[in-house]
Structure 1
Amino acid sequence: MKIKSVLVVLGMVGMGIQGFAQSISTSPYSAFGVGSLLFDNNIEQAAMGGISVFNTNPYSAGANFYNPAANKDLNVTSFDLGVNTHMSQFDDGSMVSKKSTTYLSNVSLAFPVGTKARAGFGFQPYSSIGYDLSTITEGDELRFRNDYKGEGGVNSFHVMGSYNVSPEFSVGVRANYLFGDLNRHQIITTEGLALVTDYSYEAKLSGFQFTAGTYYSKKIGTNKHFEAGGTYTLGANVNARIEDMTSTYMLMDNIPQNIDTIQYHKIYGDMKLPQSVSIGASYRKDLHWMFGAQLDWGDWGAYQMDEADNSNIDTRFRISAGGYWIPNFNSYKSYFDRVTYRLGGFYEATPLQFGEVGIKKYGMTVGFGFPVGKDRDASMLNLAVELGQLGKPNSSVIQENYANVKIGFTLNDIWFRKRVID
């Protein structure tokens, strides 16, 4: 079977996961909390504004890890792989800069287990830190340069399972094993002096997070369906080993000399991740079109890295809508009549707060699912483009205009099915 080669890919990913380090985030907004949140959905869902708590694949041949219960009708083994290129333009009202990065956004494998159960596992970045900023301040006839740098992120290796309670209702659960490093540095130099002060904060994280999901599908007439889904993610305490150090040194020909450690703390504690809820509903005509909407809420005000953490983070709220359209899934005259066309949009009140200013995010998405391989297995080459904006340029807030270009594929095959005739 063509999908068996997928096991080689998964094996390579698995062996490299522990040392896995991608350069993902380029945003100054990743300096706060756990960084820029990335764990969300696959490419086909991203192309429809991020809707993901119900079935979003027109052939029920793509795995849903956001809501495991929504895999009720998955009857094939499905392998999914995606890559994202993120391009950003930053505007602080006086200067404009650009950055970009490309990274592996998702890899997963899911399959039916008997007639009522489904299972799967995958890997995806959960969050990322990546920023490099400089400021100049003056005081007492001295000029100080502050360099802020951050890198690292949290990754998720996850497994999911679901069970069809009835022909219309299913339940599911997902377990995320989260691991990674968050590194932040602030370096202060004084103009005309060789003395440098370095504040370093490094956290190594590992622990579990659990999500429960439900899914309901009601047939209306001969070929239409109303669907609804929801997920609840429990708050989690992730193990954190934190090293907090302040040091000073002299720069001689740009080489640190006479390093003196002023303060050093090694802390074993927890990173507190918040609870979150997602609900949504859709209406579709089989193999032709679908439209859906979704609400997401996360209690990020409860986030805390350690007892001294005073991160200015609040509740997250997001509303998204989108859908797909297939002109004629069974067309033999036109290939493009069998393409899945996707469109969506979203608005998000992010958890980030700058004084009284809350950071808002909004965008539009478009995508395509190009059929590949045999007609019966519904394998696709997926493409999605997201154009969005984060923040507004003024004295305290930077505006980030960004574009995400996602490309990947979904390969489907039949495993674990007994042959009637050998």
Structure 2
Amino acid sequence: MIKKIIVSLGLLFSFSALAQEGTSSPYSYYGIGDIKFKGTAETRSMGGLTIFPDSIHLNLQNPAHLASLKLTAFAIGGTYANTKSKTETQEEKARRTALDYLAVGVPIGKLGLGFGLIPYSSVGYKIQSVSTDEVPIYSRYSGVGGVNKVFFGMGYQLTKKINIGADIQYNFGTVETTNLRYQNEIQYGTREGNESTLQGFNVDFGATYQTKIKNKLNFFSSLTYSPESKIELNNLRYIELIQFLSTGGISTIQSEDVTVADTSIKLPSKFSFGSGLGVVKKWLVGAEVTLINNSVMSNRFNDINGATFENSVRYSLGGYYIPNFNSYANYFKKITYRAGIRYENTGLVIQNKSITDFGANVGFGLPLGGTFSKININFEMGKRGTKYYNLVEENYFNISVGLSLSDRWFVKRKYD
């Protein structure tokens, strides 16, 4: 049954992942877009904490955890995002639903393998502004697209206490942005379009350590490192003379291609380290720090101004609690209760102001019948940016749902 579910869901969501509009943020105009992937639903519920070596859940941020799998795991997750964007004078709301990840993990003795698809970043915004000239100039800005990752990873149990792992990722995608300008008294307007096709590779390395301190109390530790890599961009630009139709549509009167140089964007190196204490199948509390060399980042075109990048840091604090993992009489005692907070400097600097992001999370792991499979639900509330200095403050409420199906595969039948 689980294998049939995997096939049907995989076919459904793998296609939609390539064309979804997963953000409504104007900040997604810069770099490779708004970085959407923040882990699976269960790790997001703990503020992004990734230190726990789970035997039934996939950890997509540290490949060393693949070696901890005891059952074949299929994971799929998505997020419903509700965002209120504010400036000092205006306020708008937007809603988006998008796929977060689709992955499979397979244990083979001390080795664990994982592969899947992750919509990594997203571009999606629609903005209109009006100048204060005597004859106002109306400007409309819009963008769609993003970067997807196909990955393959391996984890190996080096000793009973140490796991190591690595994965390779192929990045690909398309970003399209337009800038339309017109005046009411003039028959025609102009529209500039830019399109970038992106592709490149990067790798991640990881390690985990766990040891028993006393009785059932364990110490957990995790580290990951991603070296700097590069995404190549094939860029196109065109300028159009347009006319608005009575139906509300737009007719192109004349179009001309503009020669622009192909560019490349460096993906920053990243290092994270975290540790925590806990009792397996009972509780865990931990913290994690991630350092990102975002100062090497750049924009898609050389003539994009108004934003720079700086090195950034992310702090995560969280954990989980299970009242009684083996309870048969009370379902609520088997639920995994998770909570966490996250604070980060995103690395984006606009108007000489660093764009920061803070989020608080609470989540639940709901067991499915008598199996090891779970539905993981995460509720996240947070704020990014500021409404001052001609910037945008984004207040968001996200609901993430992840389906984690775990079962034994490739078992030889004794009876037909």
TM tier, shorter chain?
over 0.9
Aligned-residue offset at 1:109: 0.7
* Corresponding position: 1:350 with 2:349: no
Greater CA deviation, 186-195 or 104-113?
A: 186-195
Range that drifts further, 341-350 or 329-338: 329-338
Q: For residues 77-134 of structure 1, what are the alpha-carbon distances to aligned partners after superposition, in whole Å with 9 as ceiling and x for unaligned? A: 0111112100001111222211101111111110111x21100111121000111111
Does the CA contact (< 8 Å) of 2:87 and 2:392 recur in 1?
Answer: yes
Q: 410-419 or 66-75, which moves further after superposition?
A: 410-419
Amino acid at match of 2:78: V
Question: Taking structure 1 as the reference length, what is the TM-score of the superposition?
Answer: 0.91
Judged with a 3 Å threshold, the aligned counterparts in structure 2 of structure 1 residues 15 and 83 are, in CA distance, closer, same or farther, namely closer
The equivalent residue for 1:131 is 125
Using the alignment, how far apart are the partners of 1:104 and 1:14 within structure 2? Answer: 7
Provide the rounded CA distance (Å) in 1 between the counterparts of 2:238 and 2:316. 42
| Candidates 246, 253, 257, aligned match of 1:258 | 253
Aligned position for 2:401: 407
1:210 partner amino acid: V
Q: TM-score, normalised by structure 2?
A: 0.93
Which residue of 346, 349, 361 corresponds with 2:357? 361
Distance 1:221 1:421 in 2: 45
The aligned runs of 1:292-307 (5 Å cut-off) are 292-304=286-298, 305-307=300-302
Structure 1 SS opposite 2:131: strand
Q: How many residues align?
A: 412
The one-character-per-residue Cα deviations of 1:340-397 (angstroms, maximum 9, x if unpaired) are: 00000011111221222111110110000011132xx421111110000111222411
Q: Which residue of 2 aligns with 1:208?
A: 201
Question: What is the 5 A alignment of 1:142-291?
Answer: 142-251=135-244, 253=246, 255-256=250-251, 258-261=253-256, 264-291=258-285
Give the superposition deviation at 1:239: 2.5
CA contact (8 A) 2:40 2:402 kept: no
Change (3 A) 1:252 1:74: closer
TM superposition shift of 1:306: 4.9
SS in 1 for 2:295: helix
The answer to whether the Cα contact below 8 Å between 2:242 and 2:250 also exists between their aligned partners in 1 is: no
Q: Note if contact 1:44-1:56 (Cα within 8 Å) is conserved in structure 2.
A: no
| 2-structure distance, mates of 1:10, 1:341 | 26
Code of the aligned partner of 1:285: V
SS at match of 1:61: coil
2:42 paired residue among 41, 44, 51:
44
Determine the structure 1 residue equivalent to 2:99. Answer: 104
Say whether 1:70 aligns with 2:62.
no
Structure 1 residues 249, 371: closer, same or farther in 2, change over 3 A? closer
- Which amino acid in the other structure matches residue 308 of structure 2? N
CA distance in 1, matches of 2:253, 2:20: 33
Is the Cα–Cα contact under 8 Å of residues 67 and 107 in structure 2 kept in the other structure? no
Residues 45 and 56 in structure 1, CA contact (< 8 A), matched pair in contact too = no
CA–CA separation in structure 1 for the residues paired with 2:8 and 2:171: 21
Q: Decide whether the 8 Å contact of 2:14 with 2:117 is kept in 1.
A: no
- Hey, what's the Cα distance between the residues in 1 that align with 2:10 and 2:142? 33
Residues in 2 aligned to 1:273 and 1:331: alpha-carbon distance in whole angstroms? 46
Q: Look up the match of 1:55.
A: 52
Rounded to whole Å, the distance in 1 between the matches of 2:250 and 2:193 is: 18
SS in 2 for 1:142: coil
- Whether 1:387 and 2:381 are equivalent positions in the alignment is yes
Structure 1: runs of 5+ lacking an equivalent: none
Distance 2:31 2:57 in 1: 32
Counterpart CA distance in 2 for 1:342 and 1:136 is: 46
Q: Structure 1 residues 418, 164: CA separation in 2 closer, same or farther (over 3 Å shift)?
A: farther
Shift, 1:260, TM fit: 4.4
Residues 66 and 116 of structure 1, relative CA distance in 2, 3 Å threshold: same
- CA gap of 1:250–1:107, structure 2 versus 1, over 3 A, is closer
In 1, Cα distance between equivalents of 2:10 and 2:74: 13
User: Quick one: distance in 2 between partners of 1:306 and 1:251?
Assistant: 28
8 Å Cα contact 2:14-2:102 kept in structure 1: no
Matched residue of 2:171: which SS?
Answer: strand
Q: Structure 2 stretches of 5 or more lacking a match?
A: none
